[in-house]
């Protein structure tokens, strides 16, 4: 099974580092995930220079890992993936949920105006995703039950078009 980790185009070193750390990789392997693709965006991995190129492939703790700076088509990665772990950017969250994928988000605590946290917890309360922190990432993966998630409603353009039609006097 495949896990896809993305931080979009932002920089979130801690999430990328955590996803290749021993506890997370062991948990992933124990949960049946044997492949991991990471889009690190502008994050920097300090533990090894070779990870900071455009792409590299390694094997660690029984998991095949691909690390990319930017994947050209992350939609394809998301579609293949059985689980997506991402930063809590609203764009990424919407894209992943609309694809019907299981999603664990880790809000970036270093952001100054941290409304990522709000969005993540609001969506967790509605049951659409699981929000966690860097420290709890491994345990969250271990106890994660994709079947408990509530499917996110598909895009409904009629709500906005009706609003605009009302505003401009068409309705």
Asked if 151 is part of the footprint of another protein (rule: CB under 8 A), the reply reads no
Alpha helices in the chain (DSSP H): 13-19, 22-30, 74-80, 90-98, 116-125, 137-143, 158-167
Which of the ranges 38-46, 67-75, 103-111, 155-163 carries the binding residues for another protein, by CB under 8 A? 155-163
94 binds another protein (CB under 8 A): yes
Check if the beta carbon of residue 104 is closer than 8 Å to that of residue 142: no
User: Is residue 167 a contact residue for another protein (CB under 8 A)?
Assistant: yes
Nearer to another protein, 22 or 118 (CB): 118
Q: Is 169 in the site for another protein (CB under 8 A)?
A: yes
- Could you say whether residue 163 binds another protein (CB under 8 A)? yes
Give CA–CA dist 99/60, Å, rounded.
Answer: 29
Segment interacting with another protein, rule: CB under 8 A, options 54-62, 83-91, 132-140, 141-149: 83-91
| Gap between the Cα atoms of 110 and 7, Å rounded | 14
Choice between 73 and 155, CB closer to another protein: 155
Distance in angstroms (rounded) separating the CA atoms of residues 126 and 143 = 18
1 versus 122: smaller Cβ distance to another protein = 122
Check residue 30 for interaction with another protein (CB under 8 A): no
State how beta strands 55-60 and 83-87 pair.
unpaired
Interior CA angle at 73 toward 14 and 140, to 5°?
35
List interacting residues with another protein (CB under 8 A).
Answer: 9, 89-91, 94, 115-116, 118-119, 122, 153, 155-164, 167-170
């Amino acid at each position: 099974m495949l896990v896809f980790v993305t931080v979009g185009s932002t920089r979130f070193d801690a999430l990328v580092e955590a996803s290749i750390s021993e506890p997370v990789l062991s948990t992933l392997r124990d949960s049946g995930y044997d492949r991991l693709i990471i889009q690190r965006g502008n994050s920097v991995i300090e533990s090894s220079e070779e990870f900071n190129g455009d792409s590299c492939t390694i094997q660690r703790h029984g998991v095949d890992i691909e690390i990319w700076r930017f994947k050209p088509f992350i939609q394809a990665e998301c579609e293949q993936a059985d689980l997506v772990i991402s930063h809590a950017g609203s764009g990424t969250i919407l894209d992943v949920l609309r694809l019907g994928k299981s999603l664990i988000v880790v809000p970036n605590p270093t952001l100054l105006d941290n409304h990522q946290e709000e969005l993540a917890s609001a969506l967790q309360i509605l049951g659409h995703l699981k929000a966690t922190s860097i420290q709890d990432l491994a345990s969250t993966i271990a106890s994660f039950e994709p079947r408990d998630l509530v499917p996110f409603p598909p895009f409904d353009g009629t709500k906005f078009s009706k609003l605009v039609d009302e505003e401009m006097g068409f309705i």
